[in-house]
Structure 1
Amino acid sequence: MPASRPCPPWWKPWARTPCCPSPSRTTSPTVYWRRPEFYLDPVIRQASSTFAQLPASVVEPAIAKLHADLASGAWQRRHADLLTRESMDYGYRLLIAGGSDSGTA
């Protein structure tokens, strides 16, 4: 994943953008990055805007491959580094404007 870009320099006096890492243990269906087996459930996929907007002709083969990879252990071997992380930076940022940190006390 490419590094996230900082705020444009002209925002600095008015805003800051702290990182919002995605935790490994969450109830949000959009960030099951360490628990891919959840994506095998069609209800969970429909709660994710990414999956919900893709046609079945794209999603179904990918889910079949995920199922096979999970069953064979290929996913775990390929993504072993993810299994040790507690959070992941997917580039989500929270724009905070105003306040004493931004120079507008």
Structure 2
Amino acid sequence: MSTTATPPTPTGQVLAAFARSGYHLDAEVLDEHLAEIAEKAAGSLVRDQWKPDFPAAAYCDLLTAVAALRDVLGFDPSCTAVELFAKARKQHEAAPTDGTA
């Protein structure tokens, strides 16, 4: 009989962290939950980045942390703030400038 504890999995560690903050998730919904966090943060950042006192740096850090976490857990990637801004800039540059948009 072994007395060494089995180290927790990365997914187990993430679920434990969410549980410590009051979110009790099942492993089956973790991917969806992280994707929703990234989507909400991206929407807020794009919409509110120019408002006074908007914590843009915190949202940039949140998007990076969620993207890194999703990568470590093997989920499909989500955007970092840099990638989000690059995509928005590309869309803006591709938009018609003749006033027909």
Establish whether TM, by shorter chain, passes 0.5.
no
Higher helix share: 2
Q: Please give the TM-score of this superposition, normalised by the length of structure 2.
A: 0.28
TM-score, normalization by structure 1? 0.27
Higher RCO structure, 1 or 2 (CA under 8 Å, sep 6+) = 1
